[in-house]
């Protein structure tokens, strides 16, 4: 009887040991990483932050630590992992979208997303995004939403930046001036649109998109369009 129990124990231990050895074997080495959702951040950047190679065991790969490293890149808002054993790892990222630039000092620009979060600071602008003027602030922190005492100006700036993106005007609008929150100005080339305040922002940006579609050469003109009151016709003044 004791011999049978002893043999049973030996068998169980042997099976457990074999299972552990198998789990640590090259069978579970990571052979492929499939990344999706990336646009601004390169796949090589994400892969490097994973700190995984062909000898990384997928079973024991720490997704928690990898998530922390990947999200140190402020353009990445969220990352999720899925293991496909024995050797494939799926990585799904959600990026923050660069929405506008804010000049912090002469020759220094804050890159902000649609929520007003500071993604990075550079001495130049990269890509066609509007520059926001009129936001007065004393401090900022990377990865945090910009602290602006005038919350109305901040709300107007982020709202119009989002609407400009959704209406396909990101590559045409050069400035958003919120110095006067009742007379917000949007500049397209040399054409200035006065869109008033916060109320009716969606309708006004839709009108701007319509005007630009009907007048493709307007970017090369100089003028002023008053959109503070939405109506069938709009006052357009040619500047000299």
Indicate if 123 and 211 belong to the same structural domain. Answer: yes
Q: What confidence category does residue 55 fall into, taking pLDDT thresholds of 50, 70 and 90? A: confident
Indicate if 69 and 151 belong to the same structural domain. Answer: no
Q: Residue 232 has what pLDDT? A: 56
Tally of CB atoms within 10 A around 109 = 20
The mean pLDDT value for 212-239 works out to 71
Q: Are 87 and 56 in contact (CB under 8 A)?
A: no
Q: How far apart are CA 93 and CA 220, in angstroms?
A: 40
Indicate if 112 and 212 belong to the same structural domain. Answer: yes
Indicate if 19 and 134 belong to the same structural domain. Answer: no
Indicate if 107 and 202 belong to the same structural domain. Answer: yes
Q: Enumerate helices (H) and strands (E) in the chain, giving the number of each.
A: 5, 12
- Kindly report, residue by residue over 108-148, the tens digit of the pLDDT: 999 999 999 999 999 999 889 999 999 999 899 999 999 99
Among all chains, which residue has been given the structure tokens 């709202």? 159
Q: Are 179 and 134 in contact (CB under 8 A)?
A: yes
CATH number at residue 193: 3.40.50
Indicate if 193 and 227 belong to the same structural domain. Answer: yes
Global pTM reads 0.85
The parent domain of residue 21 ranges over 2-95
- Kindly report, residue by residue over 193-203, the tens digit of the pLDDT: 999 999 999 99
Domain boundary among 45, 78, 95: 95
Nearest CA to 97 out of 37, 141, 40 is that of 40
Q: Are 134 and 178 in contact (CB under 8 A)?
A: yes
- Kindly report, residue by residue over 202-211, the tens digit of the pLDDT: 999 999 998 8
């Amino acid at each position: 009887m004791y011999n049978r129990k002893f043999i049973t124990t030996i068998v169980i231990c042997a099976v457990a040991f074999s299972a552990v050895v198998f789990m640590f074997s090259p069978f579970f080495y990571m052979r492929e990483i499939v990344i999706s959702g990336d646009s601004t951040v390169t796949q090589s950047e994400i892969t490097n932050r994973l700190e995984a190679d062909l000898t990384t065991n997928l079973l024991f790969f720490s997704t928690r630590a990898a998530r922390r490293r990947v999200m140190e890149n402020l353009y990445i808002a969220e990352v999720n992992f899925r293991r496909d054993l024995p050797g494939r790892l799926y990585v799904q990222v959600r990026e923050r979208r660069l929405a506008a630039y804010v000049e912090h000092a002469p020759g220094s620009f804050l890159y902000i997303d649609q929520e007003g979060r500071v993604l990075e600071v550079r001495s130049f602008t990269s890509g066609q995004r509007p520059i926001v003027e009129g936001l007065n602030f004393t401090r900022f922190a990377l990865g945090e939403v910009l602290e602006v005492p005038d919350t109305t100006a901040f709300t107007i700036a982020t709202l119009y930046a989002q609407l400009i993106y959704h209406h396909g005007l990101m590559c045409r609008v050069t400035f958003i001036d919120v110095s006067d929150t009742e007379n917000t100005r949007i500049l397209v080339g040399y054409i200035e649109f006065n869109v008033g305040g916060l109320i009716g922002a969606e309708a006004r940006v839709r009108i701007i998109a319509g005007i630009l579609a009907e007048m493709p050469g307007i970017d090369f003109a100089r003028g002023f369009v008053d959109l503070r009151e939405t109506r069938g016709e709009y006052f357009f003044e040619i500047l000299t």
